[in-house]
Amino acid sequence: MTSTNEINQSFIEFAEAVMGREMARPSHERIVTSFQDARIAGLQAIVDYIFSMGGKYPNPVSADITEFFLAGEPFNTGYQITEQIIGPSLVSKVKPNKTEEMTRLITGFEQASYGIVTPEFKKSLDSLLERSISKASMLLNGTYLKSENPDNEFQGQNVIVTGSNTGIGRAVALEFARRGAKVVLHYSAPGFARGALSAQEMVLESSGEAKIFQGDFRKTEEIFSFADQSAEYLGKVDVIVNNAGITLNKAFDKTTPEDFDSLFSVNVKGAYFLTQKMLPYLNKKARIINLSSNHGVRGMAGYSVYASTKAAIAGLTRVLAMELSPITVNSISPGWVAGVNHFKLSPEVDFNDEGKKQVPNGRIARPDEFAKNVVWLASKGSMNVTGQDIASDGGLSIGMYCGNSCTMVSDKEWGKQYLK
């Protein structure tokens, strides 16, 4: 494991690359006791500012680093994970960000590492928020999970979100909690629990209600166990978001029966039997929202199994909408939504620029943005929508982008870590 000194030295080198000067060595040993920690807010601001290319892109495609931190741990632990997962992507974008504003953020972060939070630092975070570059000041003042919708539409409702340890699922769970819902979060195995745990901590810290349960959906008994635990905690259920899924890009002639079974078990069987198991607990006007994909309607080399699972989800959605009425059942297809794995696997890519090139509406979405579309399908405003596979993909489903070749399988090994 990387030592404390190595972590701090990594930060020093990073900061010096940004600022072009030496700086004092910060202390990251103090325990994180709250997500209002100025060190988390400061690091989030730095990350967002760098990914905005020095403020060039409002609403930048960036990473939510709260996924990496847990209360009760030294700040160093979450910092190390941040550095390992998105550090190379950040460093590749440092040079264009050598600005006075970046210098102020780095200096403020350094002071926060010693427990000093200056008015100037707070002002810098507020300035970023005003320009939609970062939500760091909301973390610092404890309003990160404050609803933008004052009527808290989901107050008193109970929601299950599977696959909520990272990316879209985690953002969806937080968005429901932000709007007043009591939420069950899900993770597949102990090695993938951190993001769900941190989300639970954030909800509880904001006076919400949330609990996490584990379930490896490759195993039918664990689907049922997850369902039983969720039912015991929630009682009645108003919304199920079947988000759990794994992807895999692999040539058709290299795909194994084990690959096939793993993807269909998690992506299809998990949604199918969790929904079936929860039927006795569903509110008469409950909402079921399945995550499909534009891979299910457009071809892309290397995704034969994944695309098949997502086409199956769309078909299942239509049938269940008929069988379970007046419960509404819809699926929603994300296009390119940049989660932390995108920064890890493609550190050299500027996702803001790629969005301009590849997505018809000119941008790649963040998980928190896509989450609002998912939550809408559970809202009063969507009560007449059922049996639909809705594309929320910036227009990608108009025609799948092939990159350099429509026949070549990408060398990025998406989903490999989930098949171990």
Active-site residues: which are they?
A: 306, 310
Rounded to a whole number of angstroms, the distance between the first and last alpha carbons of the chain is 21
DSSP string, 292-305: --GGGTS--TT-HH
User: 10 Å Cβ neighbour count for 227?
Assistant: 22
- Other C-beta atoms lying within 10 Å of the C-beta of residue 104: 17
Which pair of structure tokens corresponds to residue 131? Answer: 């320009």
Dihedrals phi, psi of 328, to nearest 5 degrees: -95, 140
Cis-peptide into 326, omega within 30 deg: yes
| 292: number of Cβ within 10 Å | 28
Rounded CA-CA distance 30/412 in Å is 37
What token pair was written down for 89? Answer: 């992507």
- By three-state DSSP, how is residue 379 classified? coil
- Which has the closest alpha carbon to 184: 228, 145, 142? 228
**Helix, coil or strand: residue 390:** strand
**Cα 102 to Cα 265: distance, rounded to the nearest angstrom:** 46
Rounded CA separation 78/93 (Å): 21
Q: Are 317 and 275 in contact (CB under 8 A)?
A: no
Q: What angle do CA 410, 415, 420 make, to 5 degrees?
A: 130
Q: Residue 193: CB partners within 8 Å, gap ≥ 6?
A: 165, 187, 212, 214
Alpha-carbon span 29 to 377, nearest angstrom: 43
Alpha-carbon distance of 226 to 214, in angstroms, equals: 7
Helix, strand, coil tally for the chain in percent (to 5): 50, 10, 40
Chain position carrying tokens 């990408």? 410
